Structure 1
Amino acid sequence: MLVAPFPPSHPLAWLDSHAARRREVGLRRELRPRSAADPMLDLAGNDYLGLTGDPRVIAGGVDALQTWGAGSTGSRLVTGTTALHDELERELADFCGAESGLVFASGYAANLGVLTALSGPGTLIVSDAANHASLVDACRLSRARVEVVPHDDPAVVDAVLAARQEPRAIVVTESVNSVDGGLAPLRELHAVCRERGALLVVDEAHGLGVVGPGGRGLLAQVGLAGSDDVVVTVTLSKALGSQGGAVLGPAAVAAHLVDTARTFIFDTGLAPASVGTALAALRVLQAEPDRPSAVLRAAAELADAAGVPAPASAVVSVVLGDPARAVDAARACAERGIRVGCFRPPSVPEGTSRLRLTARATLTDADTALVRRVLAEVLVPVAAR
């Protein structure tokens, strides 16, 4: 996208200098529309179970579209709640072992809604330094006191909670880190929270459908699913191949969010087609519980091809350091038929720009052979620069 510079007197003239500085350090970003017939092998998206194009999932969306129309027509509290929304909430909560569920228009909105509604003045939020931007923004909007702690460090969390003056406290973390694919020490964090009287909020965006028994998430894997002092957020746009998000937990939490969560009250409800595709995908996952294992096998193959340790999730992170190196490597992969993620600051800390490859349950032997050939050509020259 070519953008003409503004004249010096224009109120947006400052954008030109900011864009120039980002360009100099390799941090300019571009939109690259893809076609429906895109021939590239996609290792950048988050369709972990390969369900976005599954005929059963598409049929679920088409049926919802024909039954309920194109839009939900209003906020969830007006006309935006259909019987289909209620069905998805009940089945999703049951699958994840939660008492109740509440669907939002996006995972971002779910994170904003739950943290702002459960906190406020008189609350301490302890936030992992590697948390997703939606959780960071939720903390900023919460009006609570926020302490950012080192990544995956329960001892520091314990110390911060022990020193607090606030009557209420929340510890928030991702179950599976969205950048490096690492698993959070949820058992240890929960023990600290229980000892200190804090609520644990866990974002399972990259855990649902991939880790845990049958893809039920990391909380289920460590035996904490359904705990009454844990609240979970999930997205419907990754393993379930749709759009939207949800909050899962005690029924009292869902009732409180209906009354107070601004991203629930004032946002238009999730479109019926997205609800229908998410529900269909969830049912496919339940009928085919081996899909999560296939994701992890594919991730191990990708990691081996990249020369990095196998992850415990679908995310394979290849740290290259310099933003320009990461951009060059991603471009070289694209030229050879593979789309990979390219993460640069502010998505990752300075000096840790990387390629991010995401595994998919439907990757074939031919796909992984192509990945091995391309990464062998791309990563060695990049690393040698």
Structure 2
Amino acid sequence: MTRIGLSPLAWLDDVEVQRRAAGLRRSLRTRPPVGAELDLASNDYLGLAQHPRVLDGGVAALRTWGAGSTGSRLVTGNTELHEVFEQELAAFVGAASALVFSSGYTANLGAVVALSGPGSLLVSDALTHASLVDACRLSRARVVVTPHADASAVEAALAGRAEERAVVVTDSVFSADGTLAPLRALHDACRRQGALLIVDEAHGLGVRGTGGRGLLHEVGLAGAPDVVMTTTLSKALGSQGGVVLGPTAVRDHLIDAARPFIFDTGLAPAAVGAARAALQVLIDEPWRAQRVLDHAATLAALCDVAEVPASAVVSVILGEPEVALAAAAACAQRGVRVGCFRPPTVPAGTSRLRLTARASLSDEEMALARDVLTDVLAAR
């Protein structure tokens, strides 16, 4: 059969038609430099992305170290700023050490792949973040996906393994619905079965735990020798980048074995400087963590969400993609930006508005949120 004249990308036309018919076509939406609308969609939980001290921290690092890190951290991309920030963040969350990556995504890839590999078992929660899913796929380990938040299923998978080494991976706070992982039960299962626990605190840092130290700290697992924490600097700390925190031996191993660390350009100094300044703001103003939860509870109540949120995330399930899209568009028309989650991000039939609370929301902004959300949801 001849294929002359056939475009190798012709199949994309059919895919786009199918996506549009299912209400799953995505598009970019440009935001202005200064927000002209109320932001209930971003992950800037503590309201620090525009904080003057955070901006100053980024600018100072930019002027001192330059615009880029100039290379991988093993070559020319490592600065004193990177190392000081690692020490400060590790001390804050109660970990022995930390290692900064270029993003939260690469931090998860680096940690999971380097700490598992062929001949080991990976046990993953069914709702873990895409970065953890991809890490499991890249690991070449045997992967078992267990039902969401089911510690007994995790222990059964661990107990029935033939592999000597095993790793359990989970989010601490699940990004789509804001629920918490049963970290204590998972750790107990791991300890009984000789497994390592890796916890992604992307949505826990800055919101859960004393002064925003994360859910691991809250449940008494900070610094545990068989726990590794990953997180991002792009949510509560308002900057960019990712970090792996845990025993010093883990940091040393990742420097030698984590491909996203070895072969990627180091995180830009400005991002490190901004994140470091944001961490200091959180230390100085620990009330910000509780303020996020207070605002989330208010948003949930005005949207008739029955459960009090356990994090910054308020999930308003509307059902089909078209319904969620229409509700999000109606909010935008009235000056309120909300998240809209559809499959494959969430299961079919559970398309939703994903609202995020921020510590910096004013009384006037909360009043606008009440007026718009109650009207939009009443009209659906």
TM-score interval, normalised by the smaller of the two chains: over 0.9
**In structure 1, distance between residues paired with 2:272 and 2:125:** 31
**In structure 2, distance between residues paired with 1:265 and 1:302:** 43
- Mapping of residues 297-312 of structure 1, within 5 Å: 297-308=294-305, 309-312=307-310
Q: What's the RMSD between the two structures over aligned residues?
A: 0.9
Aligned-pair CA distance for 1:81 = 0.4
**In structure 1, distance between residues paired with 2:109 and 2:359:** 30
SS in 1 for 2:353: strand
Amino acid at match of 1:33: T
Deviations 1:53-108 (A, max 9, x none): 00000000000000000000000100000000001100011101000000000000
Structure 2 stretches lacking a partner, 5+ long: none
Q: Report the equivalent of 1:4.
A: none
Bigger shift: residues 186-195 or 34-43:
34-43
Q: Report the equivalent of 2:318.
A: 320
Task: Calculate the TM-score normalised by the size of structure 1.
Answer: 0.97
Q: Report the equivalent of 1:70.
A: 67
Q: Report the equivalent of 2:54.
A: 57
Aligned-pair CA distance for 1:38 = 3.0
Q: Report the equivalent of 2:331.
A: 333
Total equivalences in the alignment:
376
**In structure 2, distance between residues paired with 1:336 and 1:314:** 22
Bigger shift: residues 37-46 or 227-236:
37-46
Aligned-pair CA distance for 1:353 = 0.5
SS in 1 for 2:132: helix
Amino acid at match of 2:102: A
Q: Report the equivalent of 1:351.
A: 349
4+ long deviations beyond 2 Å: none
Deviations 1:100-157 (A, max 9, x none): 0000000000000000101111110000000000000000000000000000000101
Q: Report the equivalent of 1:112.
A: 109
**In structure 1, distance between residues paired with 2:75 and 2:374:** 55
Amino acid at match of 2:38: L
Q: Report the equivalent of 1:369.
A: 367
SS in 2 for 1:223: coil
Q: Report the equivalent of 1:217.
A: 214
**In structure 2, distance between residues paired with 1:278 and 1:258:** 21
| % identical equivalent positions | 67
Amino acid at match of 2:375: E
Matched, 1:160 2:157: yes
**In structure 2, distance between residues paired with 1:373 and 1:38:** 19
Q: Report the equivalent of 1:180.
A: 177
Structure 1 stretches lacking a partner, 5+ long: 1-6
**In structure 2, distance between residues paired with 1:334 and 1:86:** 42
**In structure 1, distance between residues paired with 2:81 and 2:142:** 38
**In structure 2, distance between residues paired with 1:355 and 1:70:** 37
Aligned-pair CA distance for 1:366 = 1.0
- Mapping of residues 14-29 of structure 1, within 5 Å: 14-29=11-26
Amino acid at match of 1:317: S
- Mapping of residues 234-249 of structure 1, within 5 Å: 234-249=231-246
**In structure 1, distance between residues paired with 2:5 and 2:109:** 38
Aligned-pair CA distance for 1:8 = 7.8
Matched, 1:93 2:111: no
Bigger shift: residues 364-373 or 311-320:
364-373
Q: Report the equivalent of 1:275.
A: 272
Task: Calculate the TM-score normalised by the size of structure 2.
Answer: 0.98
**In structure 2, distance between residues paired with 1:50 and 1:10:** 47
Matched, 1:140 2:124: no
